[in-house]
Amino acid sequence: MPAIQDAVIELREVAKSYPGIVPVTVLRTASLRVNRGETVALVGPSGSGKSTLLNLLGTLDTPDSGSVWIGGRDVTRLDAKDLARVRNRDLGFIFQSHHLLPQCSVLENVLLPSLADRGHPPADAHERARRLLDRVGLGPRHNHLPGQLSGGERQRAAVVRALIQSPQVVLADEPTGALDRANAEALGRLLVELNLEEGLALVVVTHSLELARQMSRIVELKDGALLPA
């Protein structure tokens, strides 16, 4: 069955367990469709499977059953090379920790995803990086090392890195979890503004009700399934 036209990313009846002495069933049957430009907050108690679900959406993990669709393709059927391309071109990732390389400047860090295809960034990637860094207030800091930035600034650099390849969808796992309240609020606002400006879809895992309320829809993970919150 082809994907529904407007869905940029979709889980169809996905199940996921972790084997072990005590096997853990995390997702029983989780379905989620995120349309172009839509913003979704994913909430639920600690251990309910939010990161597991986001990793499945991001093709960083594979489901036991069910399928994951990105840009109209069932990515559970792709080989490693095609999968790497989807991850690099169609998806942006933001984590709780910024994961910037400490020895590279802010500009070099945000250009990293654009190196993957050809080994050097295309000319327009450089321009886009400078424009986005200006946009998030980091223009004057582009030559700084991550260690010379504040926590909020580092996380804004991670946002630019997630956007550099013009992805269809950005997946964020607790993006404000390591920030103080003021920086968390500012980052939430920035994500919503970029969603509108860049037309990208956002799936944000968060414990923050404030951040969740800034998204257009909230879904809750409960007992291995997703419910509208």
Ligand X SMILES: Nc1ncnc2c1ncn2[C@@H]1O[C@H](COP(=O)(O)OP(=O)(O)OP(=O)(O)O)[C@@H](O)[C@H]1O
112: left (phi over 0), alpha (psi -120 to 50) or beta: alpha
Identify the sign of the CA torsion 28, 29, 35, 38: negative
Closest to 184 in 3D by CA, of 209, 162, 161: 209
Partner whose footprint covers residue 63, from Mg ion, ligand X, none (CB < 5 to 8 Å by kind) = none
Partner whose footprint covers residue 44, from ligand X, Mg ion, none (CB < 5 to 8 Å by kind) = ligand X
Is residue 52 near Mg ion by the rule CB under 5 A? no
The nearest distance, CB 153 to ligand X, in angstroms, is 24
Region from 51-59, 95-103, 145-153, 215-223 binding Mg ion, contact rule CB under 5 A: 51-59
Partner whose footprint covers residue 52, from ligand X, Mg ion, none (CB < 5 to 8 Å by kind) = ligand X
State residue 187 phi and psi, 5-degree precision: -70, -40
Partner whose footprint covers residue 48, from Mg ion, ligand X, none (CB < 5 to 8 Å by kind) = ligand X
The neighbour count for residue 182, using CB atoms within 10 Å, is 9
Is residue 63 near ligand X by the rule CB under 6 A? no
The interface mask with ligand X, positions 9-38, x = CB under 6 A, is ---------x-x---x-x------------
Is residue 46 near ligand X by the rule CB under 6 A? yes
Is residue 139 near ligand X by the rule CB under 6 A? no
| Binds ligand X (CB under 6 A): choice among 3, 44, 93, 167 | 44
Is residue 49 near ligand X by the rule CB under 6 A? yes
Is residue 206 near Mg ion by the rule CB under 5 A? no
- Nearer to ligand X by Cβ, of 5 and 46: the residue is 46
- Nearer to ligand X by Cβ, of 24 and 209: the residue is 24
Q: In what order do the strands lie in the sheet with 7-18?
A: 24-35, 7-18, 65-70, 73-74
The nearest distance, CB 80 to ligand X, in angstroms, is 20
Is residue 50 near ligand X by the rule CB under 6 A? yes
Instruction: Say how far apart CA 125 and CA 122 lie, in whole Å.
Output: 5
Distance of CA 180 to the CA centre of its chain: 21
Is residue 206 near ligand X by the rule CB under 6 A? no
Binding site for ligand X (CB under 6 A): 18, 20, 24, 26, 44, 46-52
Binding site for Mg ion (CB under 5 A): 51
